[in-house]
Each structure stands twice: as C-alpha cells, then as structure tokens.
Amino acid sequence: MLIPHDTRIALDSVVDLMNTAPQGDRHDELVDVPALRTFVRAHNISDVGDLTDKDLKAVQQVRARFTAVFAAPDARIAATLINQLVAAAGTTPQLTDHDGYDWHVHYFAPGASVADHLAADCGMALAFIVVAGEQERLRRCEAPDCGRAFVDLSRNRSRRYCDSRTCGNRLHVAAYRARRKEAAG
C-alpha cells in the first residue's frame, strides 16, 4: 500500500495520540498542558499557538474519537465517525510545501486549535485508509497485556503486534518455553 509522506506522518500521530490513553496498567500520558506541549513538539505540529487546559480537554476528546474509529466494526461506521470528526474540525484544505517537504495537503484551517488540527489532518489520513478498503489495517496489539494501537503497513496485512521486538518476541519466547516445558514432560 502506497501512502504519501504527509498521510504517514498523520497516521503516526493518530497512533501515538491513541497510545497516550490509559489502558490496562498504563496511566494516561496526556494529563496536563506540559504533556500536550511535549506531544505537539514531538510530532512537529505547526501553527497551534499557546496551549491551554481547554486544548488539553479537546485533544483528549479527539483521542477518544480516534479510538472509536479503530474499534469500528465496519467501514460504514468508521466513515460516519471520521466524517463527524473532520466536519467538526472545520477543515480547509490547503496545499503547502513547508519545512523542506514537497507539496502536500493540510486539512486544518489556518489558526486552528491543536485539537482541530489533529482531527482534520489525522481524520483525513484515516479516511484515506477507509477509502482504500484497508480499514483492517487499523489494529490493536494482540499481546494480552498490551493493546496499543498501530497501523499495519505490512505487505500482506499480517502484523499482529505493536512492536515485533517487544510484544512479538516476548510472546514467541513464552510460546517456545511452554513447548519445551511440555516436551520435557
């Protein structure tokens, strides 16, 4: 699946934002404005201005809406959720070529809040996945104690874990040890 650079960045932002949410024994990583500021800087989100508690709450709400898109049982429900998300952000598509990147489209209105910026750009990235008939690529890690979000960009859609070096290896080693223990009797 060929994904343009800006769409890939937006998908990475969706996943990283969703993975800040509390889940299992993990605490919420987006609990205050400094944490939001760190997220914004880490993802090079431009043109958002000063961040406030209002921005934090709005981004947490957008995060919950992205989570609902990943959990949608079919493309029709995912499309409805994405349409609502993008419409609420007041999108204004614009061509831009900033920071050394070639021409690409920003979907957020100039001066948009960080929540609207994320909802518009990331919502459109999710829309492209649904339009391509690839919604099943929006996944959660299958490790029993994980559940982190990821986008499966493998050629054959076979990725099962958020990170094969951690969750995947840990489960494969556990299965190997269980087989050896069973064989040893």
Which pLDDT score, from 0 to 100, does residue 181 have? 75
List, for residues 131-144, the tens digit of each pLDDT value: 999 999 999 999 88
Which pLDDT score, from 0 to 100, does residue 16 have? 97
> Do residues 147 and 109 lie in contact, with contact meaning Cβ atoms separated by under 8 Å?
no
Which pLDDT score, from 0 to 100, does residue 166 have? 76
Which pLDDT score, from 0 to 100, does residue 162 have? 87
Nearest to 81 by CA among 137, 132, 119: 119
Which pLDDT score, from 0 to 100, does residue 171 have? 67
pLDDT above 80 (res 99): no
Task: Give the span between the Cα atoms of 113 and 56, in whole angstroms.
Answer: 10
Q: How far apart are the first and last CA of the chain?
A: 46
Question: Lowest mean pLDDT: which of 20-34, 52-66, 97-111?
Answer: 97-111
pLDDT above 80 (res 10): yes
Per the listing, tokens 């900033």 go with: 98
Which pLDDT score, from 0 to 100, does residue 108 have? 83
**Buried b / exposed e along 49-69 (16+ C-beta atoms within 10 A):** eebeeebbebbbebbebbbeb
List, for residues 42-82, the tens digit of each pLDDT value: 998 888 889 999 999 999 999 999 999 999 999 999 999 99
Which pLDDT score, from 0 to 100, does residue 164 have? 63
Distances (CA, A) of 7 to 119, 125, 173, 179: 13, 5, 35, 42
Structure letter (DSSP) for residue 27: P
